[in-house]
Structures are given as C-alpha cells and as structure tokens.
Structure 1
Amino acid sequence: MARFIELKDDNDNDINNEDDKNNNNNNNHNNHNNHNNHNNHIPDSRPPPAVNVVTRALGCYPVAIAVASNIDLNTLDALARCCRSLHDSLIQYRGGLLGATLRCSNETSPVNREDLLRHRARASNWHYVDNGRSFNGKSGSCAHDFVQACRRCGVVVCRNCATKSPPPATLRERHRRLCLTCSRAPLATLTHPTLPHTESEAVQRAVCSCDSKAVWLCQPCGRSIRAGDHDYRRIWRWRNHYGEVLGGLGTGIGDGDRGVVCGREENCLAAHNREQEIDCDAVDATPHTPFDRPPLGPGYRRHEMEGIGGRVKCKMVRTVRIGACVPEYDEEKAGAGQGRILGPEVKGSVRSWCGWCWRVIPGRLDIGEAV
C-alpha cells in the first residue's frame, strides 16, 4: 500500500512569509494612523501663558533694560524661568539684556597681577583677610553672575571683590546691645532709610541676614568687623570687672553718660550732644592737605591748659553726638570671667544690633509680630 504526499516548494514558503510580513506592516501602519488621528483630537492640556501687566511691560525694551540694569545674571535667569510669557518677552532682547546687567564698582579697576597668586593662596585663611591692609587694584577679573550691594555702605561689589565670610562660630560676636528707647521702638524706625510700619516685606529685607544668608560686605567694610568685635567685648569685660562701688566709695561708672553706649552710637533714637575734650597734640600730628589750615594757636575751641610739671597743653573742645547708655544685668557680671557676655542678645530673646552690616537683629517678639 502506497501513500502519496505533496511537498511544498521553498519558493512557496518565501512567498507566504512575504505575504504575512506585508499584512503585519499594513496593520501596524493602520494602527499608527489611527493613533495619530486620535491624538490630533486630544486638546492641549498645558495652561495658556499668563499675560498681565508685568509680562506686557517686560515686553517693552526700555522697561526690560531698566530692570536688567538693577539685577545680576543669576536673578535675570531666575526671572526668565518664572513663566513662559516672561521667557518669551525677555528672550527677544537676550543680547542687550546680558550686557546691561548689574556690574561691580571695580569693573574698570586694573588687575594687580602681583597679588593674584597671593590672594588665591590666602583666601581660605581669615587672618590675612582681616589684617586691614589696603591692596592696589584687584586680584582678579570681576564676576557678572553674582553682584549685589554691600550690606553696610551700599557699594555694588561682585563675588570676587566681596570680603570672605567669617567663620560661623563668630556670628555670636556680632551682637551689640541697644538702649531701652531703640529696643522698644517699632522695628521699621531702626532701618535706613526709615520705612512705613505697613510695609512688612520691606522691613524683612532691611533687617540683618548675616546668619541666614552670606555676609556680603565690600573689602573696606569687611576688614574691620573682627577688630570691632574684639574691641566691643573688651569694653564689656572692663565694665564688668569694675563695679559702681570700690572700697565703699562710688566710682561713678555707669552713672549718667559713663556706661556702655547704644550699639547704634550716634544714630541712636535717644542720642544727645555732649562736649568732648581732645588732646591737640594728637590732632596736630595727623597729616593735612595743603588746603587745610588748622588753627595751631589757642582760640575758641582750643584752650591752653597747664599740666603736670608746668607743661602747657592744648585741648580741643568739640560737640559730638553719642548714644544713650544700655542696661546692665547682674547675672552678666557674675559670668563675665567665663566669657558669658550679651547672653539675651546671643540667644535671640531680645532685639540687638549687628556690628557687621549695621542693621537691626529682630528678637523673638519682633518675629512673633511679623508672623
């Protein structure tokens, strides 16, 4: 018994495979077209760009240039990233805005190549920054990405020309005690210039931010902050060492104007004018310009006084403005030997004055009222 089987040729298999591939491709193409047609009918879920007075104003070239001239590159980049409408308004003036941003006041000063490597090597050591020396020129090119005004004098400096921030451990030494009048006055009256009481956001920007942000000071203002801290703490150590009574007799220390003056000094709200005597020998030793003609002889302000040994000295009497005396606490006198000075100010329980940026440091009551 025989069985007949019909075998298929290889050509037939190839033809069938090609037909299957063509069918699959056609199906995929149809599915893709259907998917595209479906996506075309889906509406755009992105919100429309916000258009308001600010976006329309920044679309005007003079307004955009005026805004860019008061901010640095980082702030300009952050402004362009706020929304699509601001980005579209600023991107059309990109070239002009990048060249009109805030510039350092030392931009035109020459670079001192001799102090370039010395400045880079000593940048991490605060001892060399606080030595009070003056440098000729600048140690490097000015930066454009981070430019701000000095927190004390207002001079615009970049990050390369700003002084190095002190160590965080020295933040507690920047506090200065305020008198009762300044500590009880509204916070807005201690700002410069004086702000209205209703502008809380402006007051928050005007207070000290050395502990939360970087200490931004120019070189002339930043070189003397640590020396001022040491002098102020020496005054309190001397004051706590000598009391009001010595050997049963009153010393007069702390009476009237003989105490520690307010941290705001002549800008104190309770400041008053007093006469001050100055030795004219020290005044005459200071250099004068050719246009200055100091009165070397006796006059209305210069008085001749006979000192020890019959030596005649000249005293200059002038009127100066000094701040009111600050309160003193008995617990500070007990802990003055261990360095516990200005405890309430360091803890933040009362209002104080910053000796670095010359701005008020809010206390707990001020922060509670702001909240």
Structure 2
Amino acid sequence: MAVFVDLDEEEDEKRQNGQLPLDAVKAAAVTEVVASKGTGKDREEAHGLAVRDDPNRNSMTQALGCYPIIMSVAANIDLNTLDSLSRTCRAIHGGVLQYRKMLLISTLHCVNEHLPVDPEETLRFRARAGNWFYMEDAPGRTGYSGKAGQCARDMVSECRRCGTVACRNCAIKPPAPIVLRDRHRRLCVACAEAPIGYLVKPQLGPDVTVESDSVERAICQCASTGVWLCQPCGRSIRSDDNEYKSIWKWRNQYTDLLGGLGTGIGEGDRGVICGRGKECRAGREREQETDCDAADLREADANFLGTTPLSHTSSNSSLAPWSSASSNHGSVSTASDTAERRTPSPQLKAGYERHEIEGIGGVVKKKLVRMVKIGACVPEWDDERQKGEILGREVQGRRRSWCGWCWRVIPGKKDYDAAAKARIQAEEKKTLNGPDKKNLDG
C-alpha cells in the first residue's frame, strides 16, 4: 500500500546567492505587466465614463482653459466677475485655477489708480462723495480729482456714458430709486418711431428687437442693474434734471394760448428739443447766438483752432512781421509777450461769426453766432398739460424715451410688444417647419 502526501510549497523560496531564482523573477515581471495593462485599461474606461457623464465639458470650458483666451477675457472683467466665472462649474474652475496669479493682476484697473491720494483731503472728499447732492461741485472750485481713496479692484466697470473705466471708489454714489423718474428725456417723432437698432451705439440693423442680447447691452440699465457713472459724468446729473423739469414747468404754465392771443410757444423751433440733441435723426442746423467778450472769444478760438506750442512760436519768431529786434538776437520770449507784441487778429474783431450789437445806453455787446445742429421739437399733449404731469407717458413706460444720465435709449411698451410679436412669429414658423421637415425626411 502506498500513501501519497501533497506537501504545500514554501512561501519563501530558497534564494540563490541571496537573490530569488530567475524563474520567480520572470513570473513576477509578467504578473506586473498584466496588472498594469489591466489597470490602464480600467483607468481609460473610467475616464471615458467620467467625461461622458460630465455635461459641463464642452468647447467653451476647454477654450477657457487656454491661456490666451482666458487672459483676454480677464482683461475685460473685474475680480468679482472672475470669481463668479470660476464658480460656474468644476471644468472652468480647473482651467482658471492654473493661471490664478496672472489672472489676478490682469483684470480691469481703474484709470485713477496711478494718481496719488492726499491724506489731508481724503476724509473730507470721501464724506462728500457719499452724499449725492455734493456731486454738483465743479472740480475747478473744489480741487477734487474724483479719487476719494485707494482704488478698488473688486468692482471695476466702464462708465455707462463715456466708457471710462472707474472703480467703486471713483464712481458716483447710486442715486435714490425715487429720482429714477427724473432721468427721462422726451424724443421727437422721428426718433420715437425709428427702429431701436438705429438709436444704440454701435448702430445695429432695423430687424433687431429689444430682447436681443446686443440691444440689451446697449440700452439704459439704470433701473435694473444700477447707475455706474464716473465723477465727471455723474457730477451734474442732478442739476441737469432740475433744469429739464423747470423747462416743462414753464411750458405748462405759459400755454400756447394766453388770454386769447397766440404766444408762439411750441411753434416752429420754439419747442423743447429732442433728448438726443445733435444726434437726433430729424436734427437741423440753426444759428446759435452766445453772448461773449474778447476773452471768451479768444478762448473759444484757441480751442477751435488749436494752440501753437511755445517752442514753435519762439523758433519762428524771427519770421513774424511783429518780431522785435531782441528776438533776432536769439532771445526767447514768452507766450504773453508774443501776444502783446502781435497785431490783433481779424478773428478777434467783428466778422462773420462775431457780431457787435449796440444796446441800451450805447453799450456794445458782442455775440458769437455759429451754425450748430440741434434736435427737432418734441410733441406735447393737452392731457399732461391739464393734469400738470411732466413726461407722464415716458415715466409710465408707454413711450420710448432717452436717459439723461447714461445717454442711452429707454424702450417703451411698443418696443416690448414688437419683440413679443416677433418671438411668437418665430415660434410659429419653427412649429410649422418641423412636421414638413420630418415628412420630407421620411
């Protein structure tokens, strides 16, 4: 009888000269290669499933992960917008995070960031900047440059009127919601009936509606997103509103008929001009008379013709007929001395634009008459005049108007109705084309 005994293999094989046998090494290598192939394949499959299951991974998220694209985007937004962009999804967050240091220094910067801050005047002007009624102070009287402290980086945007980049410390304080009704300016019939695409900048086509993205960015957003104006543009909005309201109050008080006699108010060019001013679609050139004296006229002509540099004047002083003998010896004269020696220019005397009028008591008055383009007269309604309302249709949103703060168009009820009608027609057309396309495909 024979007995067979199955002996288990030893866990630790005998080493040959302190190393494992060659067969054991080959077997271990083959096992590792097979395991690595299986692991790599599993990883690829898992990555493919993750990419397939991620709905946010598209061409946009991949583009924002490209350095030139994300840098160009960051150059037009502030830190708050950049933070909101990074919080959109994980794909965008991962693409933005790798360029964090460069993006933080590449966002919008205020134009006043390089200006120094005077510590003695900072507190006083910061308190004034917090009060909206102090914005009417002229910069020449107060010496205020529009910078009340260190410029911020978290809230920086372009001025809605002039496009200057200003931070929250250099922008005006947002007006109270109650005064938003004072920003309306009435438009003439031509501007009110024209397509809204013609009243925005840059000018768009006649087929765009108020609900399109391009028009929404170009219209007034003072009531929705807020007022963002730099100090030079927003300093005088209160006085402009009061002046415009006073014009309408005066016109409501002195009607067209006063005691049975026609006063001529509202006839011809005596009405209130269009809110767009010289950009009015029905604007015409008219003579404008401005009372002035010699100093005002000299300043106006200097701004109109351009001033001559001092170096250019001194270098050519020897060629001028009014040059003195000392100028021929190379002496440099100042601009004031040159103005005193020179013969008065014909532009400083009475001419085509500058008229001299003899007033009461023999006083000679000087008037500057120039052709300027003004807007057409706006319509007036008797119901508003009887009720004493000022721009009632514009305030209620029934008629298109012009914003006197940001100088942008404010759509009316007719614009929104036209946009809704166009949207319904587009949906009906899409619905009608859908079954026909399926039948053709079938």
Superposition TM-score tier, normalisation by shorter sequence? 0.7 to 0.9
Tell me the CA shift for residue 66 of structure 1: 1.1
Paired position in structure 2 for 1:369: 418
Matches for 1:73-88 after TM superposition, within 5 Å: 73-88=79-94
Q: Secondary structure at the match of 2:293?
A: helix
1:314-361 deviation digits (Å, cap 9, x = unpaired): 33221010000001111222233xxx2111111111111111111111
Q: Secondary structure at the match of 1:226?
A: helix
Paired position in structure 2 for 1:276: 288
More deviation, 194-203/236-245: 194-203
The answer on whether the counterparts of 1:351 and 1:361 sit within 8 Å (CA) in structure 2 is: yes
Matches for 1:135-284 after TM superposition, within 5 Å: 135-136=144-145, 138-196=147-205, 197-198=207-208, 200-281=212-293, 284=296
Q: Give the % identical residues.
A: 57
Distance in 1 separating the partners of 2:171 and 2:149: 12
Distance in 2 separating the partners of 1:205 and 1:294: 49
Residue type matched to 2:181 in 1?
A: R
Number of matched pairs: 327
1:10-47 deviation digits (Å, cap 9, x = unpaired): xxxxxxxxxxxxxxxxxxxxxxxxxxxxxxxx997993
Residue type matched to 2:208 in 1?
A: T
Change in CA separation of 1:307 and 1:224 when aligned onto 2, cut-off 3 Å: same
Distance in 1 separating the partners of 2:148 and 2:78: 21
> Is 1:125 the counterpart of 2:160 in the alignment?
no
1:178-211 deviation digits (Å, cap 9, x = unpaired): 1111111111111122123337111011111111
The answer on whether the counterparts of 2:294 and 2:348 sit within 8 Å (CA) in structure 1 is: no
Structure 1 gap ranges (5+): 1-41
Distance in 2 separating the partners of 1:310 and 1:123: 48
The answer on whether the counterparts of 1:112 and 1:137 sit within 8 Å (CA) in structure 2 is: no
Larger fraction in helix: 2
Structure 2 gap ranges (5+): 1-45, 309-344, 421-442
Tell me the CA shift for residue 236 of structure 1: 0.4
Q: Secondary structure at the match of 2:287?
A: strand
Change in CA separation of 1:283 and 1:345 when aligned onto 2, cut-off 3 Å: farther
Paired position in structure 1 for 2:113: 107
Paired position in structure 1 for 2:369: 317
Distance in 1 separating the partners of 2:165 and 2:119: 23
Q: Secondary structure at the match of 1:54?
A: helix
Distance in 1 separating the partners of 2:238 and 2:146: 23
Change in CA separation of 1:45 and 1:71 when aligned onto 2, cut-off 3 Å: closer
